[in-house]
Amino acid sequence: MRLSDLKPGQTGVITKILGHGAFRKRVMEMGFVRGREIRVILNAPLQDPVKYALMDYEVSLRRSEAALVEVELLEIWKHAATSADLAMECREESEPDADPIPLRKDKIINVALVGNPNCGKTSMFNMVSGAHEHVGNYAGVTVGAKEGTLKYKGYRFNIVDLPGTYSLSAYSPEELYVMRYLREETPDVIINVVVASNLERNLYLTTELIDMNRPMVIDLNMFDELKRSNANLDYDSLGKMLGVPIIPTIANTGWGIDKLLDTVIDVFEMKNPDTRHIHVPLNPEIERNVTAINRVIKGDHAISDHFSPRFLAIKFMEHDPEVEKMLTDAPCYPTLMQIRESAQKSVSAKLKEDMASTISADKYGFIQGALAETMEGSIVKDEKTTKIIDTFVTNKLFGFPIFLAIMWLMFWCTFELGSYPMGWIESLVSWISGLIGRLMTDGPLKDLLLDGVIGGVGGVIVFLPNILILYAFISFMEDSGYMARVAFIMDKLMHKMGLHGKSFIPLVMGFGCNVPAIMSTRIIESKSSRLITILINPFISCSARIPIYVLLVGAFFPAHGALVFVGLYLLGVIVAVVTAQMLRKFWFKADETPFVMELPPYRIPTMRATLRNMWSKAEQYLRKMGGLILVASVIIWALSYFPHYTATDVPADFRASALSEMPASTLASQTPEQIDELIATEYQQSHSILGHVGKFVEPVVRPMEFGWKTCVSLIAGSAAKEVVVSTLGVLYVGDDDAEALSQRLKTPSKITGEPPFTQASALAFMVFVLLYFPCIATLAAVSRETGSWKYTLFTLLYNTGIAWVLAFATFHIAALFI
């Protein structure tokens, strides 16, 4: 926590001084050092400044300054200190020469990973923190900051994975995000990840970070690619030249990570011999003015306490909007403007170029010079394979067929191969429910377990293998770099819909889950294209809908399974395309953003990364089963179980009308007691809370002949689409506990003689499920990413409307033929 968060009377222990330059120096001289206690005495009347007791004297700080001092509450610190000391004692036995410095109580290092898109930051982050963040071989995979921790050699690393940026200007949302993050969170050490195979461009960002003058380590990642090429890099000398230690690593195998972390500790403890602050040389004409601006900013502590003046000066000269905003309110702004204007004139007169391009040319010049001295051989890496693959994959003739073949293979494996392990799990589930049916005595608990838990969760868990297979394909496409090619070949087609090739990636990802797919639309620069891509994403059939299709197809169309699956997925895509075109025509203006997307070299995903990814998906799915879906199933069960009635509660007229509707076959085959029980169950369900709700909404879906139970399952599906299946499982209870749900759905009801679904209504139901309002998580993603309830409401109403219309049409057309 920060000193400014402490309340009057509380005592904290200083763990770290953030901030910059003169401020740091001043407060440290005043006795603000790590491990010292500080107590809040009182706030000034307007909450600012605040008076503190430090050592034997009192000191007052402004809130904004106190926010730059990191503290820990005394009680917490004492506790942490004793456990840390214990840990140190144990360690010191084995390492007699351990430095005394680590004995300090403060052992937290905040680290931020900064680098170009696609240089392996997230792979590094996952490897270091054991997280399972999304990795992909194209730009723009990571959105927002992800945090993780690691305990290493007595230190706690708080690691943050940031989105990739090419520079630190305020032109794209990612760049702005990273710049603000570095300014506001002031990490202790920055790990600048660069790729060996593309050093020149990567080091541009490094020069900006050097301007920032913050403790830093360069992680030379993908060292395997450099080793394989015939180039030779003397990274030690390069590091000395830049004043930043350079450590080679291979993030997806973990090679070199220990050395990297050791170096981070060294830099943090200010013990690294290579660390020094250099000035990237600029053209003398510009340098002179940067120095002048630098001096002015240094005089204004409100600014220079937070950020490196040189960085600000250079960015100010480049007309960076964010820095401009930071400085406009400062009293020195007019002076700064004056210097810049005169500089601009003299620069454009002498150099015939604007300042921003001169500065970046100087920086690239510096990088080239440094590389010329340290790099031997060319970096023409083994791009041969990439070239060969690309001639086929992005070919005019073969590109589309290859893509379609891959998609076909993906769905074939998902449904066909997946059906074998699915069968095994299915028999396991029915074995368990048979066991419970035999062993437990009748009562509410047995009902809850059998109908609520197994009926709900058991019906859905069988789809785990299908979903894993689907994700394996999607993650392979992303990780190998194929996804970027797909965006490339689809650009033209997407353009016809008024979209962009990049919009295609979220659509393919949507086959897995719409939520990350909607988040991944952040790679799309154009606002309107991004909005359209978000709005059409829910029509892409996600994996949570697979259980519904497999269930109904298995029950009603066993012979034409493939046809129905293909038809459904295609229908989703068609509705998405038509919607996109309509949105572009009636809501958003045309947009002509050029297609700029890096096509990274192909990289074969490591087994380790793939398995890790699979495992995390499986874990997620199981957690969803054990959490959301279990809870939803139990709630649905409870709502259908209460208020509870027994056979004696059934009124005579209900009984009479049920008997009159009952088919002759039931009357002939069942004993009078069994008939009584059937009627009691029917009365129970239709008079439970859920029954009332279902019957109230039922008229809306009556035209498709969906019963009230189906209607309830659709509503419950807003929690998660799998819940549609688990709800059907809870509500359509069979008289044989081990009977599969698919069987129950086509068996005529013993009460009415009608089956829950016919072929036509099953088809209509699948169409409805495909298109109607998405689950809450997706709606939340839509609202978060569009930043407006307007679009969320649109999704809710439009999708449900389309679903109703098309389900209605499907039902009536199907009824003609079947």
117 binds, among ligand GDP, Mg ion, none (CB under 5 to 8 A by kind): ligand GDP
Judged by CB under 5 A, the chain residues 75 through 104 that form the site for Mg ion are none
CB 580 within 8 A of CB 536: yes
Summarize as ranges the residues that interact with ligand GDP (CB under 6 A): 115, 117-123, 135-137, 141-142, 164, 221-222, 224-225, 250-252, 479, 603, 605, 609
- Closest by CA to 365, choosing from 293, 286, 308, is 286
Site string for Mg ion, 124-153 (x = CB under 5 A): -----------------xx-----------
119 binds, among Mg ion, ligand GDP, none (CB under 5 to 8 A by kind): ligand GDP
CA distance 789 to 794: 8
382: helix, coil or strand? coil
Span of 122-130, 324-332, 523-531, 777-785 interacting with Mg ion by CB under 5 A? 122-130
For residue 121 the two structure tokens come to: 């930051």
Positive or negative CA dihedral for 684, 689, 690, 691? positive
605 binds, among ligand GDP, Mg ion, none (CB under 5 to 8 A by kind): ligand GDP
Closer Cβ to ligand GDP, 310 or 522, answer by number = 522
219: helix, coil or strand? strand
Closer Cβ to Mg ion, 426 or 479, answer by number = 479
Closer Cβ to Mg ion, 122 or 713, answer by number = 122
Least distance from C-beta 491 to ligand GDP, angstroms?
A: 21
For residue 252 the two structure tokens come to: 């997806």
Judged by CB under 5 A, the chain residues 546 through 565 that form the site for Mg ion are none
Which amino acid is residue 431, in one-letter code? W
Closer Cβ to Mg ion, 141 or 760, answer by number = 141
Residue 810 in contact with Mg ion, rule: CB under 5 A: no
- Which one among 122, 167, 414, 520 touches Mg ion, defined by CB under 5 A? 122
CB 105 within 8 A of CB 33: no
For residue 137 the two structure tokens come to: 């071989």
Closer Cβ to Mg ion, 122 or 169, answer by number = 122
Question: Omega of the bond prior to 102 within 30 degrees of 0, cis?
Answer: no
Least distance from C-beta 113 to ligand GDP, angstroms?
A: 8
Closer Cβ to Mg ion, 174 or 188, answer by number = 174
Size of the site for Mg ion (CB under 5 A): 3
Which own/partner pairs from 152-155 qualify as long-range (CB within 8 Å, at least 24 positions apart)? 152/261, 152/265, 153/102, 153/261, 153/262, 153/265, 154/84, 154/87, 154/88, 154/91, 154/102, 154/107, 155/102, 155/107, 155/108, 155/109, 155/265, 155/268
Least distance from C-beta 451 to Mg ion, angstroms?
A: 44
Least distance from C-beta 125 to ligand GDP, angstroms?
A: 7
Least distance from C-beta 122 to Mg ion, angstroms?
A: 3
Least distance from C-beta 485 to Mg ion, angstroms?
A: 19
4 binds, among Mg ion, ligand GDP, none (CB under 5 to 8 A by kind): none
Closer Cβ to Mg ion, 177 or 412, answer by number = 177
Least distance from C-beta 141 to ligand GDP, angstroms?
A: 5
CA distance 186 to 205: 17
Least distance from C-beta 136 to Mg ion, angstroms?
A: 8
Residue nearest to ligand GDP (CB): 120
Residue nearest to Mg ion (CB): 142
Span of 119-127, 328-336, 484-492, 700-708 interacting with Mg ion by CB under 5 A? 119-127
- Closest by CA to 468, choosing from 519, 417, 426, 400, is 417
CA distance 77 to 72: 6
Least distance from C-beta 247 to ligand GDP, angstroms?
A: 12
CA distance 122 to 612: 13
Least distance from C-beta 225 to ligand GDP, angstroms?
A: 6
Q: What stretches of 116-184 adopt beta strand conformation (E)?
A: 146-152, 155-161
CB 551 within 8 A of CB 741: yes
Largest CA distance in the chain: 105
Least distance from C-beta 376 to ligand GDP, angstroms?
A: 21
222 binds, among ligand GDP, Mg ion, none (CB under 5 to 8 A by kind): ligand GDP
Judged by CB under 5 A, the chain residues 380 through 439 that form the site for Mg ion are none
251 binds, among Mg ion, ligand GDP, none (CB under 5 to 8 A by kind): ligand GDP
CA distance 286 to 815: 78
250 binds, among ligand GDP, Mg ion, none (CB under 5 to 8 A by kind): ligand GDP
Bin 474: left if φ > 0, else alpha if -120 < ψ < 50, else beta: alpha
CB 799 within 8 A of CB 773: yes
Closer Cβ to ligand GDP, 260 or 555, answer by number = 260
Closer Cβ to ligand GDP, 516 or 734, answer by number = 516
Closer Cβ to ligand GDP, 16 or 121, answer by number = 121
For residue 768 the two structure tokens come to: 């409805």
For residue 220 the two structure tokens come to: 């030379």
Closer Cβ to ligand GDP, 140 or 215, answer by number = 140
CB 164 within 8 A of CB 133: no
Closer Cβ to ligand GDP, 250 or 803, answer by number = 250
* CA atoms within 13 Å, Cβ hemisphere of 110: 16
Least distance from C-beta 613 to ligand GDP, angstroms?
A: 10
Alpha-carbon distances, residue 744 vs 428, 722, 768, 816 (angstroms): 18, 18, 21, 25
Chain residues that interact with Mg ion, rule: CB under 5 A: 122, 141-142
